[in-house]
Chain A
Amino acid sequence: MGKVPKKRSIADKVRKAKTSTEIKNNPFEVKINRKKFDILGRKSKHDVGLPGVSRSKAINKRKETLLKEYKQKNKSNKLIDRRIGEYDAKMAPEDKILQRYAMERQRVHDKKDLYNLNEDEELTHYGQSLAEMEKFNDLMNSDDESEEKGLLSAELTASHFGGGGGLLKKKTSGDQQEEEGSHRAKSRQELIEELIQKSKQEKRERQVQKEEAQELTEQLDKEWKSIQALMVKKTPKAESDDKPEEKPKLEEYDMMVRELGFEMKAQPSEKMKTPEELARELKEKLQKLEADRLRRMMGDEVGDSTQSQVHMSADDLNDGFILDKEDKKTLSYQDGKWNIGEADEGEEEDEGEDEEEGESGEDEESEAEDGDEEEEGEEEEEEEEEEEEEDGHSDLESEQESEDEESKQEDEGASAEPTKTLSIEELKAQQEAAKAELPYTFAAPESYGDLKGLLHGHTPDNQRLIVARTQKCNHPSLAAGNKLKLQKMFGFLLEYIGEVATRSPPELTTIDKLIPEVYTMCQMFPEAGCKALQTILGDAGHSMEEVLEVKGHVAFPSLDMLIYLKVTALLFPTSDFRHPVTTPALLYISQALTKCPVRSLQDVTSGLVLCCLAVEYVSFSKRFLPELVNFLAGTLHLAVQDKTSLGYTVVPPFRPSGKCSDLLVLSNSESCKNWSKKSLPLSSTQHLDLQNDLDRDHHRLSCLSTCLDLVKRCCLLYKDLVSFACIFHPIRTLLSKHLPAQTLPELLQVGAKEDRNTARSFSYFFRFSPSRCLLDYGKKRGSTREEREKERLQHKYKKEFKGALREIRKDSRFLAREKLNEVMNRDAERKRKVRELFGSLATQEGEWKALKRRKRK
């Protein structure tokens, strides 16, 4: 192993000795890369290679770099060559010398300053020592020297040196070759002189500048002082420049600056916004949100802006709440106050409530509490709990409670006088009022049962108030655990909504009233809201899937699910390309529309509610929902009397004919005469109480009109789609052929006709053009410049990467070899030494023996 590099080094030596032509002609050195094909017009660079040469080159290079590094590996001290321009190939040798000399001079000069009298070299000019002159100049410089003097001296030097001016010019032009050519004869001496002169001149110029600046500063200062009294509100920035110059008066100046700074602060930073400005701001904010929404609709990646946007919308909500006459305003104000001082908090809150309720039950009590500020928070909480307990018990006890309150009030004494004088009737009336009145603080419910108990038996408006107050009392900024409590409460609230919707009859007004609260809470806790609705949707989807697996079809979702879907649309943006809540919700709707067979009028109604929801979901984004169109076509199909020759295909869950396929056919064509369009109640999705045929027919007509309106909306939504005509083909045939005018009542007819017209007009509007679908296909070659550039760079990168890898491998191989060499050398050395020792010992022994032998002799 050890011999291989040695051999190679010998070979290298031999190679070095040979000339390049010799090597090239040597067939053993040349490697010819055989080409498989001759390609016209391609120049091949690598048809002949000299592996030996290139290898030895590589090894030499490594020896110079890698090996050196390796040898220096664990050594901390090293030799640094600081000679100027030693390794700078660009520098001309003359330059190098110059600079080095300058350095040398400088050093000597420095030394000279330090009382060094003994100089090796003294330069003279007209018999005068140059050093002297320099000294003089320096002195001059250090003192205040006028411009003229400087100029004069410059001129002087120029005249003194005669041709020096020309030399200078040439030098500055940097034309070194010429310089070398013409002035080679000129001695070093001259060059050096020039150099010195140049440096002096520069020095002088600097001095002059400095002087000027100082003068100007002084002048400015004077002026400033004169107008200082007048210009109190001048910006401090202007002064800050002058600051360093004015050394003696620093403190005074500082004081002044500070003064100015304070005066600045006293000024109003922002003026009050005018209503127009506010409106504009709001508009801008909304525009931004809208832009965000559009971006999400397109399915772009959501950036950081969303985060801020979420916060923004939370703020926005607060604003909205002011408009909505919510007591959110008090709350936010309260927040602001809370951080500074707690003093006014209770009062604020009470006032807010006063305004809303217009009565003051516990006002006195809380006002009394205002006195002791420190304990207020605790007390309030205690009170909350107390009241919560009382409320939790039931309303039956509230009479007792109110009596207690009465007695409390009496104890207070402040407003007790009038109460005492009240007659029994009045007392009773007050008790009634107290009973009806709601407590002001609530503890957050710990379980769903708690919430139910809290809301049970109240009117919808009061329920909303209760929720609002609970939320306010437990605002996350008030205590650490409140956030969690409210998040839980949101889940309970949703559950409550579901339960209320499943009651018979469903108490939808309650839900309606609770919506703003739900919205507020969702804005506060998007994650919790998202999770709660996701759970609901997931469960619903799962149960639907399970039933489907077993039976192949499922019943329409019940009313609570419909409400949940609507609430989802209210809380989250439906237009997003992908949204963790609305996307599954829409999927659920579409699934329900495809898998739920229509068996009764209730089912038709449910289906139409789902269709309405689906239209709402896609109304902004205009996304295509095939299930929706299918369902609408199927619903219209239900109204077709004669089902023998259909010009269209009905998509499941509808069937072309059979049981339940003419649910919407009127039993009596006369019944449409006294029909008028009314909104259908949502509860009709659950149970329908229709006694006679007339009622049933009216319901059918309502359904049909709803359906036609939805068709119209869909037409408008999808009119821009390429395949509009194709999508609405079944509905068009249905309306034009199978739902003749006479079977539909007048009012509906209008709608139907309109639909037909819109459909037709849009069908002409649409033009099929394959060019829309024109697509570039196959591998891209002659694409844009950027792409080509990118491709080229990628290719290059790949090549470089491979090359680097190879180099690294070679490096490590080289290093390994070196290490081995080292070891071998060390061993050989040791062996040699050992042998030497043995040899010397042997000779000693031999001598000793010889001596002995001789002695014996």
Chain B
Amino acid sequence: MAPTKKRNVSSAKTNQQSVKKAKIDINSKVDSVLESKKHANDVFDILEVLESEKEKDVIGAVSACSKLFCTLLERKELFRGKLPGEEEALSGEFSAEDKYRIFMRHRYNSCVEMLLEHLSHELYGVKDSALCCLMKFAAGEGQHPLEDLDWSEHYSFPRELILAVVERLLSKTTDNSLLISRFQEFLEMEDVRYYVMSSVRENVGKVMDKNKGAVVPLYQGNVFTLMSNISLPSKESELTNFMVKQEAKHEDWKAAKLIEHKRVFERMWLGFLKYKLPSNMYKKVLVILHDSILPHMSKPTLMIDFLTAAYEVGGAISLLALNGLFVLIHQHNLDYPDFYKKLYNLLEPSVFHVKYRARFFHLANIFLSSSHLPVYLVAAFAKRLARLALTAPSTALLIVLPFIYNLIRRHPACRILIHKPSTEDEPLEDPYLMDEEDPVECRALESSLWEIKTLQKHHHPDVAKAAMMINKPLPEQEDDISEVLEITTYEMMERDLKQSQMKSIPLEFETATQLLKGGGDVLGQHFCLD
């Protein structure tokens, strides 16, 4: 809108008038075309406007086209079946009626092509209206198929049109996320979603093969946006919203069966994940994997390869893969060798600083809640967490300390970590091996959780108090970790800021004389005022 206006600042008024006029013109032309076949050639004028520079004109023309061709589709005035060439049609032995239909069908085709072009237009308004128009055409075509239904199994659906639209949406050069989110409203219709999914799969296969599996960030971004917008209903009975209703044997239609949807959905995702992904895409996929992909797959176990690969990557990606793996292990009997060993190796200093800290600890809590775990493993986890706690920020410490306590509560044999009955052979060094990757070998059970003793001197009172808990016998009740998982530093600050208004505030009694003095003069020694 804005750029258009700017461009025509000089003749804004006249231009507006002309636009209005043009609109009226186009509308009257549409009417005239629809009125009688005599004015058929006015179609060309309309299509011409469609290629105009001005956004308003184009949008007007698009809506005119949609009106025109939808009406024609309804009236069945477009040629059905195999379309003969234009020249051929003129020369061939068709009736005048047929000739008109063939002519119109050709116009329709060129109009569709232009609209598809517009889908990669730089202005969103144009893209938007073109997309809506195309979807209207698709609906029209579905109702009044342009192809001959020569065999019974074939259900009428404008598959080519959808394929073409999807192809345009999944652009390789621009980020179409806005348009794709607009497209989402159409994805609510079951059949559209079904065919979009299969088209996406085809498209991805084609494009990625062409690129020889190399990473195409923009394209993959678009694909991901489109795919993540697709969500399947959970029950068969919810499949009610169709764009095209089949007259015959609607029940047998693939698009009307949830199992088919699931199959296509699964194939689509597997097809997408087959190729190499940029790392941020990896994370995005993993974030939604467990709750919006896995439940909709017909065979979730097919994701094992992807998830194990992701788990091997290390770092944040491994953390995220945990979630999907958990679902598979928990619900689909996945047997994952060395799962705990890998989990153990995920515990690094950075684990306290990443964004997905809460999710990780939530899952780790679940994994370690099993009562069948060997003691050495639990002890290794507790010890490693305690060691890492020495570098952790306060918010993380509020999670880690109850976490360790819970481990000890669940596995009373681990109490040896905080209470060693015999102390004759007191080792001079901590027997625990921090660099050992295997929890079996790390000798955690020979050590103790002396790190918590250090944390009792932590600067934040809450952390220090939590660490003090170990001085007394732990209460039987487990601490609820979920409360502290999402805690932020500001929330911790607020605790102190909000409370203790009634109590008197202790003051510093050493008189302050200068800005840089006081507190051991550390600042004053290294910095000066100017």
Contacts and interface: CB of A to CB of B under 8 A. Distances in A.
Contacts of A613: 522-523
Nearest to B458: A624
Interface in A536-551: 537-538, 541-542, 544-545, 548
A588 to B, nearest CB: 7
B97 interface: no
A627 B393 contact: yes
Interface stretch (B100-108, B110-118, B506-514): B506-514
B38 interface: no
A709 B419 CA distance: 38
Contacts of B509: 286, 289, 293, 313, 316, 573
Contact of A651 (B391, B494, B507): B391
Q: Helix, strand, loop or mixed for chain B's interface?
A: loop
Contacts of B514: 512, 515
A613 B517 CA distance: 11
Interface stretch (A84-92, A162-170, A224-232, A578-586): A578-586
A754 to B, nearest CB: 16
Interface string A773-788: 1111111100000000
A573 B507 CA distance: 6
A535 to B, nearest CB: 8
Given A538-B494, A612-B522, A515 B515 contact: yes
Given A590-B459, A726-B451, A770-B423, A508 B392 contact: no
B25 to A, nearest CB: 49
A244 B479 CA distance: 74
A586 B459 contact: yes
A615 B454 contact: no
A563 B515 contact: yes
A574 B460 CA distance: 12
Contact of B508 (A545, A570, A623): A570
Contacts of A570: 508, 512, 515, 517-519
Interface stretch (B29-37, B197-205, B321-329, B425-433): B425-433
Nearest to A508: B529
A310 B501 CA distance: 15
Nearest to A570: B512
Nearest to B427: A768
A292 B512 CA distance: 19
B231 interface: no
A809 B430 CA distance: 63
Given A573-B508, A773-B450, A617 B391 contact: no
B419 A721 contact: no
A299 interface: yes
A583 B500 CA distance: 12
Interface stretch (B50-58, B302-310, B346-354): B346-354
A217 to B, nearest CB: 56
Given A512-B514, A586-B459, A777-B419, A571 B353 contact: no
Contacts of A526: 504-505, 507
Contacts of B394: 587, 590
A576 B530 contact: no
Contact of B527 (A534, A630, A682): A682
Contacts of A15: none
B496 A578 contact: yes
B497 interface: yes
B528 interface: yes
Given A552-B355, A577-B464, A774-B423, A309 B506 contact: yes
A770 B419 CA distance: 8
Contacts of A727: 390, 454
Interface stretch (A68-76, A380-388, A516-524, A810-818): A516-524
A306 B506 contact: yes
B518 to A, nearest CB: 5
Contacts of B212: none
A470 to B, nearest CB: 19
B461 interface: yes
B393 A590 contact: yes
A114 B519 CA distance: 90
A767 B428 contact: yes
A590 B353 CA distance: 13
B505 A572 contact: yes
Interface stretch (B187-195, B241-249, B484-492): B484-492
Contact of A619 (B451, B522, B527, B528): B522
B418 interface: yes
A682 B528 contact: yes
Contact of B461 (A522, A552, A577): A577
B283 to A, nearest CB: 12
B504 to A, nearest CB: 5
Contact of A723 (B390, B419, B500, B527): B390
Contacts of B494: 538, 541
B497 A538 contact: yes
A683 to B, nearest CB: 7
B522 A616 contact: yes
Interface string B464-505: 110000110100000000000000111011101101110111
A544 B515 contact: no
Given A772-B450, A773-B448, A609 B504 contact: no
A545 B488 contact: yes
Contact of B449 (A572, A619, A706, A773): A773
A617 B519 contact: yes
Task: Name which of A586, A591, A617 has the most chain B CB atoms within 10 A of its CB.
Answer: A591
B256 to A, nearest CB: 43
B516 interface: yes
A310 B520 contact: no
A680 B451 CA distance: 36
Interface string B178-217: 0000000000000000000000000000000000000000
A580 B497 contact: yes
Contacts of A780: 473
Contact of B518 (A569, A623, A713, A770): A569
B264 interface: no
Contact of B523 (A313, A566, A576): A566
Interface of A: 286, 289, 292-293, 296, 299, 302, 306-307, 309-310, 313, 316-317, 320-321, 324, 505, 508-509, 511-512, 515-516, 518-519, 522-523, 526-527, 529-530, 534, 537-538, 541-542, 544-545, 548, 552, 563, 566-567, 569-574, 576-581, 583-584, 586-588, 590-591, 594, 608-609, 612-613, 615-627, 629-630, 649, 651-653, 679-683, 706, 709-710, 713, 721-723, 726-727, 767-780
21 contacts: A299-B464, A316-B509, A516-B513, A526-B505, A571-B508, A573-B506, A580-B496, A609-B527, A612-B523, A616-B518, A616-B520, A617-B519, A649-B349, A651-B350, A679-B525, A680-B527, A727-B390, A770-B426, A773-B418, A775-B419, A777-B419
